[in-house]
Amino acid sequence: MTTQVRSGRRYLIRFLTAAALYTVLLFISIPLAQRQPEGSIARYAIASLPVIGVVMGVWALWKFVGEADEFQARKLLDALATSLAGTLVVAFVVGMIQFAGGPALSWVWIIAVWGVFFALGTVWANWKYR
Amino acid sequence: MKNKLKELRSERRWTQADLARELDVSRQTVNALESGRYDPSLPLAFTIAKLFELRIEDIFTPD
């Protein structure tokens, strides 16, 4: 097994673990936080638990950019650029709609929006260099 | 940019996986390089040239 195959597998394991951890913590933290007294530090700390998965995901991406060969890193950066552009546009449009009296959406959804654009960006980058 | 990677690899009867191992890159990277869909960085171009004991301009040429 080459260095590059190993780094690809490591990235996949790290990123999928981070995504799973985020999802599990999201479903656990919301009901747990609601049981804590309003305004308490414990309530805020428990509600913030899913950030552990987010930070781990960012770490997995960061490590892969450093470990992958230049072509694999280029594809990842293309996907990240796509996800950044898509998330910025959606966040701005939703913000402007809210400003104009539209329904208020939780910031929590920003990760899901980013995830959708990152997946689309990954598919696009693979297609572009297929 | 055009290149002679596929030709050079075939001369040595190497598979894409063999070349990938020699260059310490993924097989997809070799495939993208050979098909001209991805142009290598200067360090990778030097590594390729060294492997085939040629100059960069003997392997890579402008379109």
- Output the pLDDT for position B49: 97
pLDDT value at A24 more than 80: yes
Which positions in chain B touch A128 (Cβ < 8 Å)? 37
Find the CB nearest A3 among B24, B33, B41: B24
Find the CB nearest A129 among B20, B21, B37: B37
What digits encode the pLDDT tens for the residues A86-126?
999 999 999 999 999 999 888 888 989 999 999 999 999 99
pTM across the whole model? 0.83
Rg (CA), chain B: 10
Which residue in chain A is spatially nearest to B30 when comparing CA positions? Answer: A71
Tokens encoding B37: 């869909």
Amino acid, single-letter form, for residue A70: E
Is A2 close to B32, i.e. CB distance below 8 A? no
> How close B32 gets to chain A, by Cα (Å)?
6
ipTM of the complex: 0.89
- Output the pLDDT for position A95: 94
Tokens encoding A106: 């939780």
What digits encode the pLDDT tens for the residues A55-77?
999 999 999 998 999 999 999 99
Q: What is the mean pLDDT of residues B55-59?
A: 95
Show the DSSP H helices in chain B as ranges. 5-11, 16-23, 27-34, 42-52, 56-59
- Output the pLDDT for position A102: 92
Is B20 close to A8, i.e. CB distance below 8 A? no
Which positions in chain A touch B44 (Cβ < 8 Å)? 69-70
What is the CB-side half-sphere exposure of residue A50 using CA atoms within 13 A? 19
